Amino acid sequence: MPGLDGLRALAVIAVVVYHADSRWLGGGFLGVEVFFVISGYLITLLLVAERERTGVISLRNFWLRRARRLLPALWLLLTLLAVWCAIWDRDRLGMLRGDTLGGLFYGANWFQIWTGSSYTSSFAFAPLRHLWSLAVEEQFYILWPPVMWVLMRRVRPRTSPVLAVWFVLCAVAVAVATAMIHRTGPVGTIVETPDQYMSFLGRQVLRTDFLYLGTFSRASGLFLGAALAMVWRPWALVRRGPRESNKVFDTLGAVALAALGWMCWTFRDVVRGETQHAYDLLYRGGFLMVGLASVVVIMAVTKPRSVLGRYVLGNPVLVWVGTRSYGIYLYHWTIFQLYRKTTGTPLTLREFAGLMAVTVAVSEASYRLVELPVRAGALGLAWRRWRNPTDPGGLKARRRLSTAVLLASVLPLFAFGSMATARVIQDDITANLDDNEVAVVTIPTIAPRPTLAPGQTTVPMPTTSPPKIIDVLAVGDSVMLGSARKLAAQGFTVDAAKNRQPLDALQIFNYYRSTKELGETVVIHLGTNGTTRASLFDKLMKPLAEVDRVIVLTVRVPTREYERINNDIIYALQGRYPNVVVLDWHTISKDHPEWFAKDKVHPNDAGQDRYVAEIVAKVRG
């Protein structure tokens, strides 16, 4: 079925482009959902075919085939990554240990949910983050065959459409449950947005991560694919002959393919926007829409004599990519990460082309030298020759194999041994931000409940004292958070947080205005985490109207288009508000890449010194 290989190719291309730079294809991550539908269809189809052909479903043989198909390339990836880091980047080994174990045992998605390794984190080094989707599929491969074994023993072929209806209802139920668990609104810390978190095995985890990465919440595509397999079997269509017009199915398939393209182009990131909202449509039926469109495309391209399947998606280029889609997906993200170090750093077109050339070369080598030989039984043949003393070439083969295994094991043993004993060292950016948390002052969110003495019925009025005026209040996002200690040492009161958006600061300013603690100077550094609007800064300026001087810093985000948009808004504030002074951090720092960490946004130690010095000079000037 070359059309399915072509659909796989389009799905993996969408994912790869999204991972290179989400601005190029905002919903490219939906390619993973297409993969889920294809997997549900093919795996169920294989089980149904085996049942019709032999009368039974051999779970052992099914799992052995899946292991031969999936494990060799995965083990190779984990080994190569461990060796690379053991030789060239040893500080990463401790952080990779949990991800490696999660990937090895196909539990990466639950490990990421449990540890809070958010899919949307932009400055972490996470070369195995993409294994979450493979974990979802592998868990399906483990659980689904026994389910089908039971169902196929009890359900007659004539009642397969009834089973398909039940599978569709399961997909709808998953979509409904996902919509109920999801919460609309800004996504921040558990203190700022407690409704965006849920209890999971004794931990508070982000709902967005649970729904995006969780096996059950992503099962709708798998159920839809399984439902299709119960009623749409290519061999049955061939036997039945050309009863329906291919033009109708080709047209429907083309429309559904266009719908998938439109959704990949228009659907936004998992978390986006001025206040880091989750993209609601995804969790309120969006994934189900993608699944239904994928079902229509699969029907069209698997129908005998389909023009869409044979000539459009089934063209040799897409088929070549599709047959290697597993390796391309497996290797591309790790290669991207080894180059750019942080997840949120977009690639340029030149970088993307170079890294894709490496990805294709590695994927092809893996496909030819590892995956195909293992699928063809090369390991079993080598083992049989090893054990057969009567084989004339057996002794020579044993010597060659022993030498090869010994040489090939040296570096992996060294790498995994180093990983097992390595200390967990956070990446520089995260470690610095966490270290500076202690220097941050936050406003109280819950007023303490007054206590009454025995027999007391009213709360006595507290003795009032003059409010303590904050000389310099500095409010910002993670860029300011990284310098919080140094700013506090200069006498500043710092309220900074990761992923903070401009609107999040409104509550802070309103609070300090109500307590009459605002002093003569306020410093603002916001706008690093997404496109903002002039109206949002207008809202911030209202509670600051009586502050003598408001110093607003421009932003430096050289990899994002919104850098210019946000800075234009900040530049305009100086002309509209007489108490605003702009500190042009963008211009000051743009020619000094040596001041910044690997993400080019957060200042390193030298950059922090200059950052603080510029703010202090502006405050005192």
For the chain, helix, strand, coil in percent to 5 are: 65, 5, 30
Which one-letter amino acid corresponds to residue 210? F
* pLDDT of the residue at 396: 65
3-state secondary structure of 361: helix
Decide if pLDDT at 184 tops 80. yes
The most distant pair of C-alpha atoms in the chain lies apart, rounded to whole Å, by 101
The residues pairing with 473 across neighbouring beta strands, listed in sequence order, are 493, 522
- The total of other beta-carbon atoms located within 10 Å of residue 601's CB is 26
Token pair 């597993």: residue: 326
* pLDDT of the residue at 447: 42
* pLDDT of the residue at 448: 45
User: Could you tell me if residue 510 is left (phi over 0), alpha (psi between -120 and 50 degrees) or otherwise beta?
Assistant: alpha
Cα four-point dihedral sign 470, 472, 478, 484: negative
Q: Over the chain, what is the mean pLDDT?
A: 88
Six-digit token string for 14 = 């969408």
* pLDDT of the residue at 95: 87
DSSP letter, residue 206: E
| pLDDT tens digits for range 207-232 | 999 999 999 999 999 999 999 999 98
CA 50 to chain centre: 36
| pLDDT tens digits for range 68-127 | 999 999 999 999 999 999 999 888 888 899 999 999 999 999 999 998 877 666 667 889
| pLDDT tens digits for range 412-437 | 889 899 999 988 877 778 888 889 99
Backbone φ and ψ for 603, nearest 5 degrees, come out as: -65, 145
**Mean pLDDT, range 348-376, rounded to an integer:** 94
What would the DSSP string read from start to end of 545-594? Answer: TT-SEEEEE----TT-THHHHHHHHHHHHHHH-TTEEEE-HHHHHTT-GG
Write the CB contacts of 55 (distance below 8 Å, at least 6 apart in sequence).
none
Decide if pLDDT at 237 tops 80. no
Decide if pLDDT at 463 tops 60. no
Six-digit token string for 176 = 């409904």
- Asked if 422 and 90 count as a contact pair (C-beta separation under 8 A), the reply is yes
* pLDDT of the residue at 446: 42
* pLDDT of the residue at 372: 92
Decide if pLDDT at 399 tops 90. no
Cα four-point dihedral sign 469, 472, 474, 475: positive
* pLDDT of the residue at 353: 96
**Mean pLDDT, range 258-271, rounded to an integer:** 90
**% of the chain beyond a pLDDT of 90:** 61
* pLDDT of the residue at 560: 77
* Domain at 430-444+466-620: CATH architecture: 3-Layer(aba) Sandwich (3.40)
Six-digit token string for 20 = 């290179």
3-state secondary structure of 609: helix
Write the CB contacts of 385 (distance below 8 Å, at least 6 apart in sequence).
391, 393, 394, 397, 398
Six-digit token string for 424 = 């967990």
- Asked if 541 and 577 count as a contact pair (C-beta separation under 8 A), the reply is yes
Token pair 């932009």: residue: 122
Of 387, 424, 572, 544, the C-alpha closest to 475 is 544
Residues of each domain in the chain carrying CATH 3.40.50.1110 = 430-444+466-620
Six-digit token string for 417 = 């041994």
Question: Which residue would you say has higher pLDDT here, 304 or 18?
Answer: 18
* pLDDT of the residue at 191: 74
* pLDDT of the residue at 79: 95
Which one-letter amino acid corresponds to residue 222? L
Of 422, 442, 447, the C-alpha closest to 99 is 422
Question: Which residue would you say has higher pLDDT here, 33 or 422?
Answer: 33
* pLDDT of the residue at 317: 95
**pLDDT bucket at 185, cuts 50 / 70 / 90:** confident
Strands 277-278, 271-272: parallel, antiparallel or unpaired by DSSP? antiparallel
Decide if pLDDT at 392 tops 50. yes
The answer to which of 15-29, 58-72, 102-116, 242-256 has the lowest mean pLDDT is 242-256
**Mean pLDDT, range 456-484, rounded to an integer:** 77
**Mean pLDDT, range 123-146, rounded to an integer:** 92
Rounded Cα gap, residues 332 and 324, in angstroms: 12
**pLDDT bucket at 579, cuts 50 / 70 / 90:** very high
Backbone φ and ψ for 598, nearest 5 degrees, come out as: -65, -20
- Exposed e or buried b for every residue in 168-200, given b needs 16+ CB within 10 A? bebbeebbeebeeebbeebbbeeebbeebbbeb
* pLDDT of the residue at 522: 96
Which one-letter amino acid corresponds to residue 531? T
**% of the chain beyond a pLDDT of 70:** 88
Helical ranges in 392-500 per DSSP H:
394-421, 428-436, 478-481, 484-489
* Neighbouring C-alpha atoms within 13 Å toward the C-beta of 550: 29
* pLDDT of the residue at 433: 87
**Mean pLDDT, range 524-530, rounded to an integer:** 89
Q: At how many degrees (to 10) do helices 31-54 and 287-302 cross?
A: 50
Which one-letter amino acid corresponds to residue 221? G
- The total of other beta-carbon atoms located within 10 Å of residue 75's CB is 14
**Mean pLDDT, range 184-204, rounded to an integer:** 84
